[in-house]
Amino acid sequence: MFDRILLPTDGTESMDAVVETAADIAVQRDAEVYVLYVIDDRAFLTLQDEMKSEVVSELEGEGEAATDRASTRLREAGIDVTAEIREGNPAEEILGYSEEMDADLITMGTRQGDYTKNMMGSVSQKVVARAGVPVLTTNLAAER
């Protein structure tokens, strides 16, 4: 049932709990894991054009470190891993990539104790509400 697992990551240490969950499921199901890091381009709206390339380059480096961290742990468990870095609206990119790679499950972290207090809503809440596949969330706020 879960042969292709999508794991969006932001690279923080608290994501280790989500990686462990994905690894556990993948090992049990002999599944592939697709690790995704999204550079949130909404932050660029107020940047001057000459600053954008510098910021994107720095964020790409963070994305590589984030996907490498998760991928290394998954590969150590004997799991086939594909890593991807994208730029855009995080929820939209997660949902789009999920469809492209034909995910059976999305496993991701959430830091929102009460997403109704956040005017925009959290990325995980948007993914849960709109994904065409099951979404397993881990509360990262409890990991502090």
**Digit-coded pLDDT (tens) for 74-125:** 999 999 999 999 999 999 999 999 999 999 999 999 876 554 445 445 899 9
pLDDT at 114: 52
pLDDT at 119: 44
In Å, how far are 8, 74, 115, 121, 136 from 5, measured between CA atoms?
10, 12, 24, 24, 10
d(CA 40, CA 33): 22
d(CA 32, CA 77): 12
d(CA 23, CA 32): 10
CATH number of the 4-143 domain: 3.40.50.620
Candidates 89, 86, 61, 63; CA nearest to 11 is 63
d(CA 11, CA 20): 14
CB atoms within 10 A of CB 36: 26
Q: Which pTM value belongs to this model?
A: 0.89
